[in-house]
Amino acid sequence: MKYTTLLTTLFAVGAMASQCHPQYPCCSGCDVIYTDTDGEWGVENYDWCFIDSNRCHGGGNCSPAFQSQGYQCCSNNNCNIVYQDGTGNWGVENNQWCGLSYNCGNTPTTRTTTRTTTRTTTTTTRRPAQTSDNFFENELYSNFKFQGEVDTSIAKLSGQLQEKAKKVKYVPTAAWLAWEGATNEVPQYLNEAGDKTVVFVLYMIPTRDCNANASVGGSGSLDKYKGYVDNIYNTINRYPNSRIVMILEPDTIGNLVTANNDNCRNVQNMHKQALSYAISKFGTQSNVRVYLDAAHGAWLNSHADRTAQVIAEILRNAGNGKIRGISTNISNYQQVSDEYQYHQNLNRALESQGFRGMKFIVDTSRNGQNVTAAFSRNNTWCNFKGAGLGPRPQANPNPNMPLLDAYMWIKTPGEADGSATGSRADPVCARQDSLQGAPDAGSWFHDYFVMLLQNANPAF
Ligand SMILES: *[C@@H]1O[C@H](CO)[C@@H](O)[C@H](O)[C@H]1NC(C)=O
Ligand SMILES: *[C@@H]1O[C@H](CO)[C@@H](O)[C@H](O)[C@H]1NC(C)=O
Ligand SMILES: *[C@@H]1O[C@H](CO)[C@@H](O)[C@H](O)[C@H]1NC(C)=O
Ligand SMILES: *[C@@H]1O[C@H](CO)[C@@H](O)[C@H](O)[C@H]1NC(C)=O
């Protein structure tokens, strides 16, 4: 810190170690007079004191270098080092990276490990936007949240399985925008990704998951949903050099086509309007490629014509918004060859509606094992036993499948599909062929991750 501007006569009174700083006392107030690489400083009793960020900012006391990258301090009692780099020691809390507190001895270090995570790739140099329309041909961003989740499993594993988990950690996965606060995470993802392609999944439609209970939620109303979309749209406008894939609303088309309960039927018009609105915004941004989700072949292949009609109606009401294509098999376990049949059927049906040139992406996060026979018995979509991590994300994966833009890990493999207990309990998650012990949908399910890892194909 700099002493020059303060009453230097008082400097000698100085140093006193505290929980806030190795040499200075904690401030009793929160007024920041000065900020340097150590952190935030105040002045009290005519001397420097160190701002107690635990009290003032609700976090631990860590270097502002973490905060300037958009991360919070870990809580003071968390000294569990998950990662080290030039910024210091990193921990993970609530599936987020956080900076470990000074009281863990976390003074800035020199680079201590070879660094392959995405955080350091946040650079100011950016390549100009690429020319290919298939953004999966670009390097894909590896999601910090997934890394943090896998880290919690790495800590519980040992031996070969642990080594494998360390590799899985860096596989690119989609970032889900599925709760109110997620709009605030968009800048963080875009900053971290730099010129890599970020794949977002928008999953916030009102009365989400109207046909089941595991993932109920979403925006409170269509207007709130529009606000959510606008917020993300405006953020993206501030990152014109980013390359973004936006996958829209898994399950919604499936429910629009086959909804057989009032809960879904009552919201059909609203769901169509919501999708049209999202496409009218993201589908006009030159650095965004939109893929509308269309469930999976086992669900909709026999309804391909009806599916194409619904999609066509949504696109016609989307103003100037365009989609690049369709995503399928999100969170499911279908084999690519089966999905591709669905892609071909749906493509033909869309062509007859006047929508040509659609591309497809398929979620391969959990389809490494062919569980089709067992799965089709009960369609247990929740934490299905026997599944394995599938093919790694890849652009244009198969020359025999020219409609395919990419394999992508869209579902975050290892996050639960739902739980058999609690307020969001879903009976499907209580079945024999669903792995038991799951937390709520979206939370990390270590046992399921281990199963997916053991069954991975290709293996890690
Ligand atoms: C969801 O929960 C509601 C109320 O708790 C219940 O009536 C309904 O049957 C559940 N739906 C499913 C698909 O389990
Ligand atoms: C999609 O999921 C189903 C299982 O529901 C699976 O049979 C199919 O192969 C998957 N498709 C792709 C392309 O992964
Ligand atoms: C997956 O299993 C099903 C049922 O056993 C079989 O019909 C199908 O051909 C298999 N698919 C692949 C890609 O192996
Ligand atoms: C499939 O569902 C049937 C009827 O709901 C049930 O009796 C059977 O145990 C289920 N199979 C598995 C493997 O859970």
The angle formed by the CA atoms of residues 303, 305 and 308, to the nearest 5 degrees, is 105
- Sheet arrangement for strand 288-293: 175-177, 197-202, 243-248, 288-293, 325-328, 359-363, 404-408, 394-395
Please tell me the predicted confidence (pLDDT) of residue 386: 96
Q: Which of 52, 151, 251, 405 is catalytic?
A: 251
Q: How far is the CA of 349 from the centre of ligand 4 (A)?
A: 35
Do the Cβ atoms of 445 and 414 come closer than 8 Å?
yes
To the query of whether residue 31 is one of the catalytic residues in this protein, the response is no
pLDDT tens across 133-190, in order?
899 999 999 999 999 999 999 999 999 999 999 999 999 999 999 998 999 999 999 9
- Condensed to tens digits (0 to 9), the pLDDT of residues 217-252 reads 799 999 999 999 999 999 999 999 999 999 999 989
Cα(177)–Cα(249) distance, integer angstroms: 10
d(CA 108, CA 84): 10
Q: What is the pLDDT of residues 14-61, one digit of tens each?
A: 456 777 777 788 888 787 777 777 778 777 766 778 888 777 766 667
Counting ligands in written order, which one lies closest to the CA of residue 428? 1
| CA–centroid distance, residue 402 to ligand 3 (Å) | 21
Give residue 120's pLDDT: 32
**Residue nearest (by alpha carbon) to ligand 4 atom 14:** 432
Instruction: Tell me whether residue 385 is annotated as binding.
Output: no
- Return the domain boundaries, the chain: 135-454
Is 296 flagged in the annotation as binding? yes
Confirm whether residue 381 is marked as ligand binding.
yes
Please tell me the residue having the least CA distance from ligand 1 atom 13: 212
Proportion of the chain above pLDDT 70, given as a percent: 85
Ligand 3 lined by 337 (C-beta under 6 Å): yes
Sort 165 into a burial class: Cβ within 10 Å, 0-12 / 13-18 / 19+: buried
Higher pLDDT, 354 or 125: 354
Distance 429 CA to ligand 4 centre (A): 12
Q: What's the 80 CA to ligand 1 centre distance in angstroms?
A: 40
Whole-angstrom distance, CA of residue 420 vs CA of residue 368 = 25
Instruction: Report the C-alpha dihedral over residues 368, 371, 375, 376, rounded to 10 degrees.
Output: 120
Nearest ligand to the CA of 298 is: 2
Supply the pLDDT for residue 331.
Answer: 56
What was the pLDDT predicted at 271?
96
Q: 196 CA to middle of ligand 2, Å?
A: 27
Cβ < 6 Å from ligand 1: which residues?
A: 212-213, 426-427
Residues counted in the chain:
460
For residues 375 and 381, give the distance between their C-alpha atoms in angstroms, rounded to a whole number: 8
Amino acid letter for position 239? Y
Q: Choose the catalytic residue: 363, 417, 426, 440.
A: 417
Q: Whose CA is nearest to atom 6 of ligand 1?
A: 213
Please tell me if the CB atom of residue 385 comes closer than 6 angstroms to any atom of ligand 4.
no
47 has catalytic annotation? no
Which of 3.50.50.60, 3.40.50.10190, 3.20.20.40, 3.90.1170.50 would CATH assign to domain 135-454? 3.20.20.40
Per-residue burial over 150-163, b = 16 or more CB atoms within 10 Å of its CB, e = otherwise? bbbbbeebeeebee
CA distance 62 to 88: 9
Q: What is the pLDDT of residues 1-16, one digit of tens each?
A: 333 333 333 333 345 6
Residue 212 CA: nearest ligand 1 atom is 13
| DSSP tag of 291 | E
Testing ligand 1's pocket by substitution, the residue of 211, 213, 260 carrying the most ligand atoms inside 8 A of its CB is 213
Question: How far is it, in rounded angstroms, from Cα 388 to Cα 303?
Answer: 28
- Rounded distance, CA 167 to CA 411, Å? 18
430 Cβ closer than 6 Å to some ligand 4 atom: no
Q: Are 186 and 179 in contact (CB under 8 A)?
A: no
Residue 359 φ/ψ, nearest 5 degrees: -110, 165
How much distance in Å is there from the Cα of 451 to the middle of ligand 4?
21
**Atom nearest to 431 CA in ligand 4:** 14
Atom 12 of ligand 1, nearest CA residue: 212
> Which pLDDT does position 296 carry in this prediction?
75
Nearest atom, ligand 4, residue 432 CA: 14
Query: What pTM value is reported for the model?
Result: 0.71
Residue 214 φ/ψ, nearest 5 degrees? -65, -40
Residues 108-119, mean pLDDT to the nearest whole number: 33
By CB atoms closer than 10 A (0-12, 13-18, 19+), residue 12 is exposed
The response to whether 411 counts as a known ligand-binding position is yes
298: Cβ below 6 Å to ligand 2? yes
